[in-house]
Amino acid sequence: MLEGNPSEDFDLSHIIIRTNDLGFDIVFDDADNKQILIVQSKWIGKNRSVDIGDLEKFYSIHDRLMDENIVRTASQQTQDLLDNYADKVRDGYTVLLRFVTNRIVKENQRRQELIRNTNERYQRDNAKVVCEFFAQSDLKEFQHQIATTDSGILNRIQ
C-alpha cells in the first residue's frame, strides 16, 4: 500500500521525472519512515556496460541537492518532488541513492570500491545517505522477495 491505497490502484507516474531531472529519474518520499528514495535507471543496450562515470555522478547527487541554487535549476516537477530536500535531510531523513540497470552485470571491483568509498564518505560526513546498485539479477531477486513474502511492506506494496 502507498498512502493507504493498494499499489495496483495507485498511479506512480507523478514520481517519474521526464525532463530537467538533475541526473535522476524517480523520487519517492516516505514521510512516515523519514526516507527519500532517489533512483537513476539506465537502459543499456547489447555489448555495453555501466559507465563508472555515470555512477560517480549519480552517487554524488546528494551534495548537489543540498544546494538550493542547484535545485532551483531543475524542472518544477523535480523541485516539487524534492520538496525541501535539504531541510528533510537536516531533520533526519535517510536517503537511498539507487542506481538500476537492465543489464546482467558481472562483479566489478572498481564499481564496488566506488560504492563502498562513497558510502564511507557519507558516513564520515554524518550524512544518512546509502548508495545502492541493482542490476538485472538483483531486480529479479527483489521481485522474488516481493512475491514470496507474507508480511511487511513488501507484501503491502505487491
In a domain, 134, yes or no: yes
pLDDT digits (tens, 9 = 90+) for 59-73: 999 999 999 999 999
| Residue 114 domain boundaries | 13-157
Cell of 107: 562483479
pLDDT given at position 5: 43
Domain count along the chain: 1
Q: How far apart are CA 8 and CA 1, in angstroms?
A: 9
Q: How far apart are CA 111 and CA 133, in angstroms?
A: 9
Average pLDDT on 7-30 reads: 72
For residue 9, how far is the Cα from the chain centroid?
23
In a domain, 3, yes or no: no
Q: How far apart are CA 3 and CA 34, in angstroms?
A: 14
For residue 40, how far is the Cα from the chain centroid?
6
In a domain, 74, yes or no: yes
Query: Which position has the grid cell 498511479?
Result: 11
Of 32, 25, 27, 34, residue with least CA distance to 1: 32
Of 115, 86, 92, 108, residue with least CA distance to 31: 92
In a domain, 7, yes or no: no
Question: CA of 154: how far to CAs of 1, 103, 138, in Å?
Answer: 9, 24, 15
Model pTM score: 0.78
pLDDT digits (tens, 9 = 90+) for 85-101: 999 999 999 999 999 98
